[in-house]
Structure 1
C-alpha cells in the first residue's frame, strides 16, 4: 500500500479561505504575522491549513513526509497553530496568556486572549527552528 499524505500544498486561494473561515479577522492577523516572520507568501496545505515554507519529517515506514514549516488553521472551536517547539518554548507559553497545547499544536480561542509580542516570539523561534539556513 502506497502512503499518500492528506496535507499537501495546493493552489487554493489563501485569502478566500481566510475570509470564509469562522475567524476571518484573527486568521488575517495570523497570516500577516507569519508572512512577516517567514518572508514568504502563504500556501494552502490540504483544505484547511495555511502554511509557510516546508519541512521534512520522518515517517515510521522510513520514508519522509512534508508539512508546512509554520502554519495555522482558523477552526470554529479555536485557532490552531502548527509550530515546532524551539528552545524557550515552555518559558514563552507561561507568558502567552490563555491557550492550550497538543502534539505539535498550539490552541488559542482568540488572539485577544494572548500577548501579541510573546506570540510573535513563539512563531519566530519556531520558524528559525524549521527554516533552512
Structure 2
C-alpha cells in the first residue's frame, strides 16, 4: 500500500501562503481564512503535505481499505484555480447549508471558491462546526 503523502509537517504556514498563493487576492484570502479558521476552531494552523493547511486532527480508520492515519478536522488550500475548503462531509446539515453558502463548486471531498467574498462566512463557520462535531462523533479517540 502506498504511503500517505498528506501528513502533518513543520513547514511555516504563513511562508506557504505567501509563496504558494499566486495572486494578491489569493494571499489576502488565505490569510483571512487562516484567521477565520483559527478563531473558530481554537486550533493553530499546521501544514499537511505540501499544500494543505489544517486545524486540529483526528485519527481515522477506513472501513473499506484498512488504511488509517491522521487528518485535519478542517482546512484549506489557496490553489491556483480556486481555494479548496475542506469543511464538508455530505451530512443532511451540510446539504442544507450549501444553499446558503454562496458561489462555489463541489469537488469530490471539498468545496472550491474563487474568492472568499463569494461565500457567506457565517455559513462557512456553521459547516466547520458540523464537520468537527461529526468527526469527533465518528472518531472519538482524538480531535
After TM superposition, the score normalised by the length of structure 1 is 0.89
CA deviation after TM superposition for structure 1 residue 69, in Å: 1.1
Q: How does 1:1-133 map to 2 (within 5 A)?
A: 2-20=1-19, 21-22=21-22, 23-59=26-62, 60-85=64-89, 86-131=91-136, 132=142
Q: Give the alignment's Cα RMSD to 1 decimal.
A: 1.7
For residues 95 and 28 of structure 1, what CA distance do their matches in structure 2 show? 23
For residues 17 and 76 of structure 1, what CA distance do their matches in structure 2 show? 13
- Shifted more, 98-107 versus 81-90: the winner is 81-90
CA deviation after TM superposition for structure 1 residue 87, in Å: 4.5
Conserved? CA contact 1:84–1:130, under 8 Å? no
For residues 109 and 56 of structure 1, what CA distance do their matches in structure 2 show? 30
Aligned residues: 132
CA deviation after TM superposition for structure 1 residue 84, in Å: 4.0
For residues 96 and 14 of structure 1, what CA distance do their matches in structure 2 show? 26
For residues 119 and 63 of structure 1, what CA distance do their matches in structure 2 show? 29
- Shifted more, 52-61 versus 42-51: the winner is 52-61
Conserved? CA contact 2:87–2:111, under 8 Å? yes
Unaligned regions of 5+ residues in structure 2, if any? 137-141
After TM superposition, the score normalised by the length of structure 2 is 0.83
